[in-house]
Structure 1
Amino acid sequence: MQSRRVVVVDLGTGNLRSVTKAINTVSPNSEVHVSAEPSVITDADHVILPGQGAIGTWLKQLGPGSELRQAVVSALGNKPVLGICLGLQALYRYSSENGGQKGFDLISGTVRHFSEAETGFGTGVGQDMRKIPHMGWNRVRHTRTHPLWKDIGNGERFYFVHSYYADSQDPDQIAGQTEYGITFTSAAAQDNLFAVQFHPEKSQRAGLTLLKNFINWNGTC
């Protein structure tokens, strides 16, 4: 296991402590910081963008023209980056949450509420209804090979908590898919970016393996 300088970007949402603890578990020699300081992000080898809750609140922390936004955008362009939950959704062009939010437009597609899907979602009453949010363990089917899937079985279970899902347009950017009434993108990849809708820090062995693979990843496929 290589020693890395890792920053878990603190945008005021997300289970930052659990993510940090998981990284320390799989890579005890790495230097892990939880920070929103642009200089810390700039100096890091690997960047993790976690987030839970409302994407509008998350994106608000990245004010237009701010040094923090510039540091994050720079990292998205040239460092290995792992997005978790909102960190996945923010990579898309647009999310319908909070009245509509513009993302970084690095992954083709949009983010939609499950209720916008054509199939049945609601209270969970009846076989064809699915509860919102999608919460609990579900399988992730690999749709392409990737270094972060090393030693993780196709169809492995991960832990999800979300009401909005990624609707990808470019099949080449989809790394994993999950079934929940519909088929949605649960992992996306593009160049130095890998992002997941599930929470690896809550996903036991499979999640820790993915985080270990990320720390060892050089940002190329």
Structure 2
Amino acid sequence: MAIADGRIAAIDAYIPFERAAHEAGIAAAIDLTADAERVRTADRIVLPGVGAYADCAAGLRAVAGMWEAVEEVAIVKARPFLGICVGMQLMSERGLEKTVTTGFGWIAGDVKEITPADPALKIPQIGWNTIELTRKHPLFSGIPTGSKGLHAYFVHSYHLDAQKPDEVLAIADYGGPVTAAVISDNLAGTQFHPEKSQALGLALITNFLRWRP
């Protein structure tokens, strides 16, 4: 797939991918859609999500063929996928918020409530935090991370308790380690919101548009 001819499907939410594509000189068509058939033809998929795990999973399944279309593009065709916030959480095996809900099962682990060691830290985590990479990756190329790096914007009460260390790409400290980003081949996810993370987010979106896993 040539990125200049690519089409990115952003499912049921607005994300400033057009701005990132324009500033990076990438001629990609950004398709905001809740149509499963349009998703099937995408070269890349972005799956955002806010709210409860079970509600987001139910909403995705309620659109005829959408769950299957996402799996077809991301797994069968192995095209780049980016899950954001609950979109990342749905990559897990199960969500344990309110009830037990089955996810896509791409990342080993369950989504559990954050339990900070410091009782003064409030849940949900809302606001800016730094992230620490577990290793280098093209999605974070050129992005300063660590305690003196750029900040990412978080809004969440639950996080993906990943069971395979090699699937954790970044962590944040919120009274203990919180999974900030996951990776598995062509599948990526961020717990933070790139679209709200200013310089860090814009750079990550640009890297995703250029990423060729």
TM-score (norm 1): 0.86
Residues 74-89 of structure 1 aligned to structure 2 (within 5 Å): 74-77=72-75, 78-89=78-89
Aligned residue number for residue 92 of structure 1: 92
Structure 1, residues 156-200: CA drift from partner, whole Å, max 9, x if none?
310000011111110100100000011011000001011000000
Identity over aligned residues, as a percent? 35
Give the letter for the 1:79 counterpart. R
- Residue number among 133, 154, 168 corresponding to 2:162 in the alignment: 168
User: 1:75 deviation in Å?
Assistant: 1.9
Residues 1-221 of structure 1 aligned to structure 2 (within 5 Å): 2-3=3-4, 4-10=6-12, 16-17=13-14, 19=15, 22-28=16-22, 29-63=27-61, 66-77=64-75, 78-114=78-114, 117=115, 119-121=117-119, 129-155=120-146, 156-218=150-212, 220=213
> Which ranges in structure 2 are unaligned for 5 or more consecutive residues?
none
- Give the Cα–Cα distance (whole angstroms) in 2 for the partners of residues 118 and 196 of structure 1: 20
Cα RMSD (Å) = 1.8
TM-score (norm 2): 0.89
Deviates more, 1:152-161 or 1:45-54: 152-161
- Give the Cα–Cα distance (whole angstroms) in 2 for the partners of residues 63 and 50 of structure 1: 15
Residues 116 and 175 in structure 2, CA contact (< 8 A), matched pair in contact too: no
Residues 116 and 174 in structure 2, CA contact (< 8 A), matched pair in contact too: no
> Which ranges in structure 1 are unaligned for 5 or more consecutive residues?
11-15, 122-128
- Give the Cα–Cα distance (whole angstroms) in 2 for the partners of residues 167 and 158 of structure 1: 19
- Give the Cα–Cα distance (whole angstroms) in 2 for the partners of residues 103 and 81 of structure 1: 15
Question: In the comparison of the two structures, how many residue pairs are matched?
Answer: 202
- Give the Cα–Cα distance (whole angstroms) in 1 for the partners of residues 143 and 128 of structure 2: 15
User: 1:63 deviation in Å?
Assistant: 2.6
Residues 144 and 174 in structure 1, CA contact (< 8 A), matched pair in contact too: no
Aligned residue number for residue 124 of structure 1: none
